[in-house]
Amino acid sequence: MAIDWQTFWLTLQLAVTVSAILFLLGLPIAYWIAFSPRRWKFLVEALVALPIVLPPTVLGFYVLVALGPRSPFGRWWISLTGHTLAFTFSGLVIGSILYSLPFAVQPFAASFASVDRKLLAASATLGASPMRTFFRVIAPLSVHGLVTGATLSFAHTMGEFGVVLMVGGNIPGVTRTVSIDIYDRVQASDYAGANRTALLLLALCFLLLALVYGLNRKPWTLNPVK
């Protein structure tokens, strides 16, 4: 069977949406984790890292419950829009954001934290607001972390399976992503089709990661500046 391009298109849409939202959402969370003096900060760090260790089914299950009509959030959404979030593209986006959160936040926070604190102090004594310090000093010096976080969240969403299956089900054109398609083909003993689709996904992800690591390579590692 031929490659189902619709699933690729849908997966790409999902990955772009999720990584774009995660980028905007991840910046303040990472900033808070990197610079907050709060003692209970570690609890937030643990919470953000949770999706790395949790089985996607567990996360997917709770997202499904939260989106459904039994949770206050689900009821609020239904009263607002008239339909449930479960088994929709929007629901898929919400589930994927939670699932990929650590892949954006952790590289962001790590690169923010590695910026020399004296530079931040210098910026403040020169009269700069925290906002100006962030955009003029922290962000430019964290470019590698920002690129890495954006790419990892993108690639991770591309390859996601469990959460999608739990939250989105398998509706062609709405929630049927590449990984679900592959799973279906294997179930239907279409190994050739599964192989073609899987190989394409693998190649795409590899290209993307290679591009990012290539861009992130520091040209001066060979000739260190003084």
124 touches other proteins (CB under 8 A): yes
216 touches other proteins (CB under 8 A): no
Rounded to a whole number of angstroms, the minimum distance from the CB of residue 120 to other proteins is 9
Site for other proteins in 53-112 (CB under 8 A): none
Rounded to a whole number of angstroms, the minimum distance from the CB of residue 226 to other proteins is 8
Considering only 54, 128, 174, 205, the residue that binds other proteins (CB under 8 A) is 128
Considering only 37, 82, 127, 214, the residue that binds other proteins (CB under 8 A) is 127
Considering only 122, 192, 199, 202, the residue that binds other proteins (CB under 8 A) is 122
CA dihedral of 185, 190, 191, 193, whole degrees rounded to 10: -80
The one-letter amino acid code at 122 reads A
Compute the C-alpha angle 163/166/172, nearest 5°.
Answer: 95
Rounded to a whole number of angstroms, the minimum distance from the CB of residue 128 to other proteins is 6
Both tokens of 180, joined, read: 């679900």
d(CA 146, CA 19): 11
Give residue 158's region: left, alpha or beta (phi > 0; psi -120 to 50).
alpha
Rounded to a whole number of angstroms, the minimum distance from the CB of residue 140 to other proteins is 5
d(CA 226, CA 206): 35
Query: How many residues interact with other proteins (rule CB under 8 A)?
Result: 18
Give residue 127's region: left, alpha or beta (phi > 0; psi -120 to 50).
left
Footprint of other proteins (CB under 8 A): 116, 118-119, 121-129, 132, 136-137, 140-141, 225
